[in-house]
Structure 1
Amino acid sequence: MQGYNVLMIYNSDMDRLLMCMRLKEPYKGLRNLVGGKIEPGESGMDAAYRELYEETNISRDQITLRHLMDFKYYYQDCYVEVYAGKLNGDVEVAGDENELYWSDLNQDFFDMALFAGEGNIGHMIEQVKMSGVLN
């Protein structure tokens, strides 16, 4: 079963979320969170920090990630680990895999015409709010 991660990266004020515009399938043209594959033999947490650095240039010392939840897709033979973190301060993000941008939180993240993940992004944001994991 292939593992993936998705990373919810909040700015230090918790009023913006790092997003990307997908440049390739799946979800080409839609807004998404950053993330990627978990390599064989790699822990989920190590993969999360590796993907975060590869896709955004944010290093382990600039943020603490929390493992929030998982989604298991039996018919697609894969699972997704969801991590959330709040930056320790201002950082310069950079990446060439997808176009990165900071989104304010006053969006309808359940809008499937704009956001990838069939509403999961909205669900994950609500879980961060409810859990208080980043307070």
Structure 2
Amino acid sequence: MQGYNVLMIYNKEMNKLLMCERLKDPYKGLSNLVGGKIENEETGLEGAYRELLEETSISKENITLHHLMDFTYHHQNCYVEVYVGRLNSDVSISGVENILYWSELDHNFFDTSLYAGEGNIGHMIEQVNLVRDRLF
């Protein structure tokens, strides 16, 4: 079963979420969270930090990631590990795979015409809101 990660990266004030505009399928043109494939030789957390650095230039020194939840897709033979973190300070973000931007949190992240993931992004944000005080 192939593993993937999704990274919910909040700014220091916890009022913006790092998003990307997908430049290729799946979900081309939609907004999504950053993340990628977990390699065979790494743990999920190692893969999360690697993907974060590769896709955004945010290093492990800038943030502590917490394992929030998992999604298992039995009929697609894959699973997704969801990690959440809050930046220690303002950092420059840069990446070439997708267009990166900071999103305000007052959007309807369940809107599948704008956001990838069939409503999962909205669900994950709600889950972070439930445990935010324990994590940060």
Give the TM-score taking structure 2 as reference length: 0.98
Question: Deviation at 1:134?
Answer: 3.4
Q: In 2, distance between residues paired with 1:113 and 1:44?
A: 30
Report how far residue 41 of structure 1 moved. Answer: 2.0
The 5 A counterparts of 1:12-51 are: 12-51=12-51
1:95 aligns to what SS in structure 2?
coil
Does the CA contact (< 8 Å) of 1:86 and 1:134 recur in 2? no
Identity across the alignment (%): 67
> How does the TM-score come out when normalised to structure 1?
0.98
- For structure 2, list consecutive stretches of 5 or more residues without a partner in the other structure: none
Matches within 5 A, 1:105-116: 105-116=105-116
1:131 corresponds in structure 2 to 131
Aligned pairs for 1:7-86 within 5 A: 7-86=7-86
Give 3-state SS (helix, strand or coil) of 1:91's partner.
Answer: coil
Aligned to 2:97: 97
Task: State the SS of the aligned residue for 2:61.
Answer: helix
SS at match of 2:79: strand
SS of alignment partner, residue 52 of structure 2: helix
Q: How many residues end up aligned between the 2 structures? A: 135
The answer (yes or no) to whether the contact 1:5–1:80 under 8 Å persists in 2 is yes
Structure 1 residue 131: Cα displacement: 1.2
Structure with more of its chain in helix, by fraction: 2
- Report the Cα distance in structure 2 between the residues aligned to 1:101 and 1:5, rounded to whole angstroms: 19
Give the unaligned 5+ runs of structure 1.
none
Q: In structure 1, give the amino acid aligned to 2:39.
A: E
Q: Distance in 2 between matches of 1:57 and 1:90?
A: 12
Partner SS for 2:48: helix
